[in-house]
Amino acid sequence: MVERIPQVKQECCQECGNCEAVCPEVFHLNEATGKSEVINPRGAPEERIQDAMDQCPAQCLEWVEES
C-alpha cells in the first residue's frame, strides 16, 4: 500500500512558524536555515497535519507518496 507523508517545499517557506504552532510533533523550524522541516512524518493524525498544511500562508506543505 502506498502511504503519504508531509513534505515542506523549502524554497517557498516564509519562516512564519504556523505549521510548527499547529503541529509541533511533525514540523519544526530549523534553527540554522529558519525554514520548516519535517521531523516526524507520522507524528500526528493526518487531520492535524492537514490543518497545518491548510494554514500555511504560502502553501508550502504538500503530501508526497512514500513507496
The beta strand positions in 1-67, using DSSP E, are 3-8, 27-29, 36-38, 61-66
Residues in contact with ligand SF4 by the rule CB under 6 A: 8, 13-19, 36, 56-58, 60-61
Judged by beta carbon, residue 58 or residue 64, the one nearer ligand SF4 is 58
> CB of 1: closest distance to ligand SF4 in angstroms?
27
Judged by beta carbon, residue 2 or residue 51, the one nearer ligand SF4 is 51
> Cα(67)–Cα(14) distance, rounded to whole angstroms?
29
